[in-house]
């Protein structure tokens, strides 16, 4: 088998890349180890807690024991299914802050500033929001719906933010991220609008785009040029690329594949008996993620989703969705959000909230106290860095994942502020008729008590990224150049969240799709879309005021 382009990974960026290359008239083969995304567990937004806990759809990775988090091994779900993590995620759509991309450009990712990426966000989106916004796209493949905020609790949370002195934003993905407002979700006509539904399936229907099932084992080289990918099926075979190979296998599997192919830290590769093709010490390094805790409150009123948290309730929600694509099953239930700054002197938001009208864990376990609600809260820009390294030279073995969460002193200060600011929001008059008492943390407010809560209860927000960092071609720690070409070899690119120089503000699915969209233009040798030089809203008093 061969095609002009071979893409490893049918995830967020890989699907977008396949669509744009197919649209340009090229033959494309996409290699995906996971199976079909058919079925209600993936397609029903309200069922989101199921697929990320099912081995059928998830790679099942976990971290090494995290020293600062009581040596807990953290779950690292990654989608092993058509659509990748966009088929198992929470469907929350956050572009990130404009300043995130300006930081990328300042870090050596020339051409990836906000003015450069804004037109690509607009190209990929079909936004269904309130009113019109020239910050948003309305013709793209990716349907993005603004939450309707059906429950009074969603409005109370936003009102509490206003009462606490924070702004309200009509569109955090537009001119002003900072503030409280309605979330965007990748849901359309009641279905999860994954990268597979938005990009891959239409591309396969219209153009010469083929999906091949198999485990990518290594990139095949002739001389210094990538010419294909060895995959394991019933027997090993090589799928050849007449133009380029593109790795879009996730921030966990992409660095693993690079290292198995001889691209990475030389000494580490030699330790595993792998011949060094390009000594790139940055491969697998710079691993970043967002941590979050669930601040849970018991509800005075029986108006939460807990009324459906039983066999009969779930059957009703499921049946309503199955027959009409409406009801609670048609929402991810993350319908209100906030982005705030933790203190004066912070230029743009560094804390994110997801509000949920039930007190429940990602694994589907509801709080014992019955009716309740919660805010997922966490700082956005930790200075802690981890690494993805090889456990062995066997492609079937998962890599070692070490986040080094909370290994920087500032992390603890950030977390104390985040917890205290959250408690203040839930003490506002707008929440008074709903808050019965705090379930979790539920303890005191000293530094030691907050630190102990974070150590025991902080969870990954499932936003790993940064393990094949983009930077200047002469940067020894960069893995890809600003056109996503792997430095030190030819014919090989990376296009997924691995290339983020620094994690973006908020959920990382939208920036991952962006990478696929923009990298496709680099692969095709096109002039990038014209820059849009409008700047974001920044609080004029940010130097002296926290809100």
Residue 361's pLDDT is 76
- CB-based burial, 137-147: b 16+ in 10 Å, e otherwise: beebbbbbbbb
46 is in an annotated binding site: no
CA distance linking residue 108 with residue 470, whole number of Å:
7
Sketch the domain layout of the chain as residue ranges.
1-143+191-288+464-533, 148-182+291-379+407-457
Contact call for residues 352 and 337 (beta carbons, < 8 A) = yes
Judged against a pLDDT cut of 90, whether residue 360 lies above it is answered with no
pLDDT class of 53 with cuts at 50, 70, 90? confident
Is 463 among the residues known to form the active site?
A: yes
486 is in an annotated binding site: no
Three-state secondary structure call for residue 3: strand
CATH fold for domain 1-143+191-288+464-533? FAD/NAD(P)-binding domain (3.50.50)
Q: Of 144, 42, 31, which Cα lies nearest the Cα of 85? A: 42
Judged against a pLDDT cut of 90, whether residue 369 lies above it is answered with no
CA distance linking residue 445 with residue 420, whole number of Å:
8
Contact call for residues 222 and 240 (beta carbons, < 8 A) = no
CA distance linking residue 384 with residue 63, whole number of Å:
15
Q: Percent of the chain at pLDDT above 70?
A: 99
The CATH architecture to which 148-182+291-379+407-457 belongs is 2-Layer Sandwich (3.30)
Contact call for residues 503 and 142 (beta carbons, < 8 A) = no
pLDDT tens per residue across span 256-298 = 999 999 999 999 999 999 999 999 999 999 999 999 999 999 9
Residue 331's pLDDT is 96
Contact call for residues 389 and 64 (beta carbons, < 8 A) = no
92 is in an annotated binding site: yes
Q: Measured over all CA atoms, what is the biggest interatomic distance in the chain, rounded to whole angstroms?
A: 70
> Which residue reads 């000293």 in tokens?
446
pLDDT class of 362 with cuts at 50, 70, 90? low
pLDDT tens per residue across span 402-412 = 999 999 999 99
Judged against a pLDDT cut of 90, whether residue 366 lies above it is answered with no
Mean pLDDT of the region 367-372: 84
187 is in an annotated binding site: no
Judged against a pLDDT cut of 70, whether residue 364 lies above it is answered with no
Contact call for residues 142 and 186 (beta carbons, < 8 A) = yes
pLDDT tens per residue across span 152-206 = 999 999 999 999 999 999 999 999 999 999 999 999 999 999 999 999 999 999 9
CA distance linking residue 487 with residue 468, whole number of Å:
10
Judged against a pLDDT cut of 80, whether residue 365 lies above it is answered with no
> Which residue reads 């809100």 in tokens?
547
CA distance linking residue 227 with residue 239, whole number of Å:
9
144 is in an annotated binding site: no
Q: What are the residues facing 355 on neighbouring strands?
A: 336, 375
pTM score: 0.97
Structure tokens at 143: 């349907």
Catalytic option among 97, 103, 463, 522 = 463
Judged against a pLDDT cut of 80, whether residue 62 lies above it is answered with yes
Residue 135's pLDDT is 97
Mean pLDDT of the region 430-444: 95
pLDDT tens per residue across span 97-156 = 999 999 999 999 999 999 999 999 999 999 999 878 999 999 999 999 999 999 999 999
CA distance linking residue 105 with residue 437, whole number of Å:
45
């Amino acid at each position: 088998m061969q095609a002009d382009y071979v893409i490893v990974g049918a995830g967020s960026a890989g699907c977008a890349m396949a669509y744009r290359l197919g649209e340009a008239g090229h033959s494309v083969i996409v290699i995906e180890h996971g199976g079909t995304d058919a079925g209600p567990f993936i397609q029903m937004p309200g069922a989101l807690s199921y697929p990320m806990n099912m081995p059928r759809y998830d790679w099942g990775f976990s971290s090494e024991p995290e020293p600062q988090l009581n040596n807990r091994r953290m779950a690292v779900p990654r989608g092993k299914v058509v659509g990748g993590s966009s088929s198992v995620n929470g469907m929350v759509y956050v572009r990130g802050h404009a300043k995130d991309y300006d930081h990328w450009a300042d870090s050596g990712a020339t051409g990836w500033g906000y003015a450069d990426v804004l037109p690509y966000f607009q190209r990929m989106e079909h936004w269904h929001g309130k009113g019109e916004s020239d910050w948003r796209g309305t013709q793209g493949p990716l349907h993005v719906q603004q939450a309707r905020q059906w429950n009074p609790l969603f409005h109370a949370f936003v009102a509490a933010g206003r009462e606490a002195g924070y702004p309200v934003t009509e569109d955090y993905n537009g001119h002003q991220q900072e503030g409280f407002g309605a979330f965007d979700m990748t849901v359309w006509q009641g279905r999860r609008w994954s990268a597979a539904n938005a990009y891959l399936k239409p591309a396969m229907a219209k153009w010469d785009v083929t999906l091949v099932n198999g485990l990518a084992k290594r990139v095949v080289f002739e001389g210094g040029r990538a010419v294909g990918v060895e995959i394991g099926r019933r027997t090993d075979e090589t799928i050849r690329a007449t133009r380029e190979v593109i790795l879009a296998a996730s921030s966990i599997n992409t660095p693993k594949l690079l290292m198995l192919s001889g691209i990475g830290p030389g000494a580490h590769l030699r330790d595993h008996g792998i011949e060094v093709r390009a000594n790139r010490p940055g491969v697998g390094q710079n691993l970043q993620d967002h941590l979050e805790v669930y601040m849970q409150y018991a509800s005075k009123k029986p108006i939460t989703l807990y009324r459906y948290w039983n066999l009969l309730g779930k059957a009703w929600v499921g049946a309503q969705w199955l027959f009409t694509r409406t009801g609670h099953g048609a929402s991810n239930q993350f319908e209100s959000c906030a982005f705030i700054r933790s203190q004066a002197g912070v230029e743009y938001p560094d804390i994110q909230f997801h509000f949920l009208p039930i007190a429940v864990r990602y694994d589907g376990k509801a709080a014992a106290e019955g009716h309740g609600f919660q805010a997922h809260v966490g700082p956005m820009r930790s200075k802690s860095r981890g690494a993805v390294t090889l456990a062995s030279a066997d492609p079937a073995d998962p890599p070692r994942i070490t986040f080094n969460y909370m290994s920087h002193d500032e992390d603890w200060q950030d977390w104390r502020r985040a917890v205290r600011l959250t408690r203040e929001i839930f003490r506002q008059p707008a929440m008074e008729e709903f808050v019965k008492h705090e379930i979790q943390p539920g303890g005191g407010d000293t530094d030691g008590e907050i630190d102990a809560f974070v150590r025991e209860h902080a969870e990954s927000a499932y936003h790993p990224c940064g393990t094949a960092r983009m930077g200047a071609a002469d940067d020894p720690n960069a893995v890809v150049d600003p056109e996503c070409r792997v430095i030190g070899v030819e014919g090989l690119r990376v296009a997924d969240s691995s290339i983020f120089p620094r994690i973006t503000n908020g959920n990382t699915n939208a920036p991952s799709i962006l990478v696929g969209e923009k990298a496709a233009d680099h692969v095709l040798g096109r002039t990038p879309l014209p820059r849009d030089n409008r700047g974001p809203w920044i609080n004029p008093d940010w130097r002296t005021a926290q809100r």
